[in-house]
A and B are shown apart, each in its own frame.
Chain A
Amino acid sequence: MLISQIGNYSLILGLILSIYLIIYLFLGIYGFTKNNLNNIYSILFLQLFSVLISFFSLIYSFVVSDFTNETVYNNSHTTKPLFYKISGTWGNHEGSLLLWLLVLTLFIFLFLIYSKKQPKNYRLNTIVFQQIIISGFFLFVLFTSNPFNYLFPKPTEGLGLNPILQDPALAIHPPILYLGYVGSSIIFSASLSALVSKNINSSWAHHIKKWVLLSWIFLTFGIMLGSIWAYYELGWGGFWFWDPVENVSLMPWFCLTALLHSISVLEKRLILKSWTLILSIATFSLSMSGTFLVRSGILNSVHTFANDPERGVFILIFLFILILISILIFFFFETDEKILENKIYWLSKETFILINNWFMVFFLSVVLIGTTYPIFLEVLTSDKISVGPPFYQKLLIPFLIPFLFFMAVGPNLKWIKNDFKKINIKKFFLLIFICFIASLFTEKLNINNLFIIILIFSSFYLFVSSLSDLIYKKKNFSQNISHFAFSILILSIIFNGILSKEFSGNMRVGDEIDFNSNIIEFQKIETFDKENYKSIIGTFKIEDRKKKIILLKPEIRVYNQPNILTSEADIKTSFYEDKFLVFSILNQDNIFNVRYQVKPFMIWIWISTFLLIFGGLIRFTKIK
């Protein structure tokens, strides 16, 4: 109880520091007082420290199960394992916002430390913008979602954490994702500040690239963790469902990936200034609107945070203010000083990066429209609709084809200008060779969809081309590895999509089913009592054509608090395919609902994503 008070007051302290800092810096920038960098360091540190105290006091309340705290009462339970008591701290709305705040204050502190080479005015301006965001979040936490609300009389037991959230991947998924989102807030503030202090140049691009990479790495990793979790925990047997909440994290990713490429153009050629700034502003706005859409309850999906319209309104207003500020700054400070009329030649690296950006923006708009269209339609006509995966597949696949080709060619071009005739003739033969290989593949697999055939063909092209770059070129190792990883990712997604097989039906113990000449036998069920749930484990014997036998043991967990069933799929992973089996109870006659799936190249989706991130990491460590 006392601990909660401390947490609450240190939050208020943090807000006061934030407002003080904005005023102090503002006066300093306009010359009324003198800004002392050491003072700013200590204020930022104090702010970070106060949020840290607040965060730890919430963790402490969760660990000791202090049910006088409303957040703890709503989301925890004494029988929950310690690990999930701790991860439960950010598994709910209030706690996750506190985590946002923590990362926000941490990043601005790190920014100040790692921007010493930049002009002082620019650094201070960035802090002002970032503190505006931070104070907005402080207000949001304190007034609409305070994690330290007091409950009296003290309840004897908490309501418990939703069991599907009691999972290691999901314990670290939110923090990682937030690191990505919050990283984009630094890019946002830094861009605005660079505009205001007229500091957009090569050295700035170089310095901000580090932050772009950092948020890209975390965002990619966070999305991947969520996807892995959905694959084995939700039991739908897929890794991406075009669920609104997934889309909401994918949109800033497209934006950030575009930014990652265009920032290099700015660094090397000093062109695409405004475009880069628009991307930085858009990335953060998309992260924020994502939060708004999820938290306000407008979108409904697996993330069922308690819906509260008041919160939605707050975020909406906050978002509106931020976007308004950035648009105003963008138009008023946009410099039209003639920097050497930099022309872009059509066959150059910068053109191809621009093409990449266009594609990214297209992908982004597809996802954006698919996600928000149902909301608008409901408001306008009160028709309720949903947009399913076919919409996205139909629009993304045809455009992925040229995208992959450009991705294969682009990295081999030089900056500024290339001679068309000098483009390697070897590549042309490679193209024919791949045509041949790909047609063999499609022939063998009986694929009739023309788009899919061309898509396989183009991703093979990227695969071979980036592989040869990876082997023969010493330069740009990180880029080659990421492009190579992307080609594996696309290839494994395609093959996974077209070669997956699924059986679902209802079985009793002892039943045998023939599925694609595999025999599935439901052998037995056993029941065990665990710490906070009852476990029902089924045993299934699967015998394939070659008489090879594997046993799969999926599990149903009956949690005591809250009383919820979850299914834990059993997955046998190999380099070639995943065998996935999940079952659930039908409350009658001992019949169980069984779903068995064979998913080829599943593991390669994760491996390639890791490789993609790894490329980013290497690049990050190389930037001085």
Chain B
Amino acid sequence: MVGKKVKLRVIFLSIFLATIILSIILILKSLEDEIVYFISPTEIKSLVELNKKKIRVGGMVKEGSVKANSDSINFIITDYKNEIMVSYSGAIPNLFAEGKGVVAEGILKDRNFLISKKILAKHDENYIPPEVKEALGAK
């Protein structure tokens, strides 16, 4: 016969394992929903289908492309191979400038147009996000 103590221990262990497995499943499940992919303008052009998921687009702000009006800022992100127009509403980081690296987060309207609500702030004037560097280097 199985003693009471052993029984208790088995119950305890199984609860413990179940909790761990459940939490891991939960974490991974939420992770799947909440990750944001980083894509370069060139990769956007070759996307098969567009969905309403948030993405990040990185590259350089094209010289002479920044236009501001009262509620949004429009500019073009380029990886010197392909370009994408961005319409951005929100506050801009200080290091946002023409000819500098930028990462914009938003939703694609079509393959040429991104509606963005967030520009990532990087605080070093010579800093190029590694993703951008790679996107640029791949040309």
Contacts and interface: CB of A to CB of B under 8 A. Distances in A.
A236 to B, nearest CB: 7
Contacts of B27: 365-366, 369, 395
A370 interface: yes
Contact of A385 (B35, B90, B91, B122): B35
A510 interface: no
A385 B38 contact: yes
Nearest to A236: B121
Given A504-B91, A593-B91, A593-B92, A586 B38 contact: no
Interface residues of B, number: 40
B95 interface: yes
A510 to B, nearest CB: 13
Contacts of A395: 26-27, 30
A556 B70 CA distance: 20
Contact of B91 (A162, A164, A391, A582): A582
Contact of B122 (A304, A394, A591): A304
Given A365-B27, A388-B34, A563 B91 contact: no
Interface in A557-609: 562-567, 582, 584-589, 591, 593-595
A593 B73 contact: yes
Contacts, number: 111
Nearest to B135: A384
B66 A235 contact: no
A588 B91 contact: no
Interface in A221-251: 234-236
Contacts of B89: 504-505
A382 to B, nearest CB: 9
Interface residues of A, number: 49
Nearest to A307: B130
A235 B92 CA distance: 10
Contacts of B54: 388
Given A584-B94, A589-B68, A391 B34 contact: yes
Q: A-B pairs with the 9 shortest C-beta distances?
A: A595-B91, A391-B34, A384-B38, A565-B94, A385-B35, A504-B91, A304-B124, A591-B68, A593-B92
Interface of B: 19, 23, 26-28, 30-31, 33-38, 54, 56, 66, 68-73, 89-95, 97-98, 121-125, 127, 129-131
Interface of A: 162, 164, 234-236, 300, 302, 304, 358, 362, 365-366, 369-370, 373-374, 383-388, 390-391, 394-395, 504-507, 511, 556, 562-567, 582, 584-589, 591, 593-595
26 contacts: A164-B123, A234-B121, A235-B94, A236-B121, A300-B122, A302-B123, A304-B123, A304-B124, A362-B23, A369-B27, A369-B28, A369-B31, A373-B31, A386-B35, A387-B35, A388-B36, A390-B34, A391-B34, A395-B26, A504-B90, A563-B125, A565-B94, A567-B94, A582-B91, A584-B93, A586-B73
